[in-house]
Chains A and B, each alone.
Chain A
Amino acid sequence: DIQLTQSPSFLSASVGDRVTITCRASQGISSYLAWYQQKPGRAPTLLIYAASKLQGGVPSRFSGSGSGTQFTLTITGLQPEDFGTYSCQQVYGYPRTFGQGTKVDIK
């Protein structure tokens, strides 16, 4: 299985901050990576697919980059509604796998 390791596991940031979350794959996955946001008690929502493509309706402050084994999700200008857990997922090989999640707290 392809392992995805996210860092950090938790971060606390202030409104307006630039936040970066990293996802590292155990082997190369080209650009076959997605990012999801999940709020407590809710289903995840898709933010980014194909490593850098913004899903429709997602604010432009979210961006993704990377390829191969190293990927980043960046939130430029953190907003109060951006709290939650962010997870990466690889869709390069089977079984599909998720990172362990990064919990984002608003200071």
Chain B
Amino acid sequence: EVQLVQSGPEVKKPGESLRISCQGAAYYFSTHWIGWVRQMPGKGLEWMGMIYASDSSIEYNPSFQGQVTISADTSISTAYLHWSGLRASDTATYFCARVNAYGVFDYWGQGTPVTASS
């Protein structure tokens, strides 16, 4: 069964760097786009961007471009979301999800809660 397994909860201080991960299993990781979605506490879903691991093509939401970096390592079937300097407003749960042939998210990771607080 297709699975996306995300790294665990993170608590950081504003200004610190952070990288969270999303490892795919039971499918060909390189042949699918992987997307990232933010959900702030009590709020809706926000599409951040996605990466096609085989050639590192990336589509960013302009609202997030420059704030985060999306990357992937096909050798370990893992996608990453990186912040060079967290802000308190980055406190949220972040989901990764696989994009299917219709362009929608058919499999989701369990979510990684990130708290940025002094």
Interface size on B, residues (CB 8 A): 23
> How many A-B contacts at CB < 8 Å in the complex?
61
Contact-residue size bin, chain A (C-beta under 8 Å from the other chain): 20 to 34
**CB under 8 Å from chain B, chain A span 3-51:** 32, 34, 36, 38, 42-46, 49-50
Write the chain B residue with the least CB distance to A45: B108
Q: Are A87 and B103 in contact (CB under 8 A)?
A: no
Q: Are A55 and B95 in contact (CB under 8 A)?
A: no
> B45: which of A50, A53, A94, A98 is its contact (CB, 8 Å)?
A98
Q: Any chain B CB within 8 A of the CB of A89?
A: yes
Q: How far is the CA of A42 from the CA of B35 in the complex (A)?
A: 17
Q: How far is the CA of A78 from the CA of B9 in the complex (A)?
A: 34
Residues of A within 8 A of B27 (CB): none
Residues of B within 8 A of A49 (CB): 100, 102, 104, 106
**CB under 8 Å from chain A, chain B span 57-109:** 59-63, 95, 97, 100, 102-106, 108-109
Residues of A within 8 A of B103 (CB): 32, 91, 96
> A46: which of B47, B59, B105 is its contact (CB, 8 Å)?
B105
24 contacts between A and B (CB under 8 A): A34-B102, A36-B45, A43-B95, A43-B97, A43-B109, A43-B110, A44-B45, A49-B106, A87-B45, A89-B47, A89-B104, A91-B103, A94-B59, A94-B61, A95-B60, A95-B62, A95-B63, A96-B47, A96-B61, A97-B47, A98-B45, A99-B44, A101-B44, A101-B45
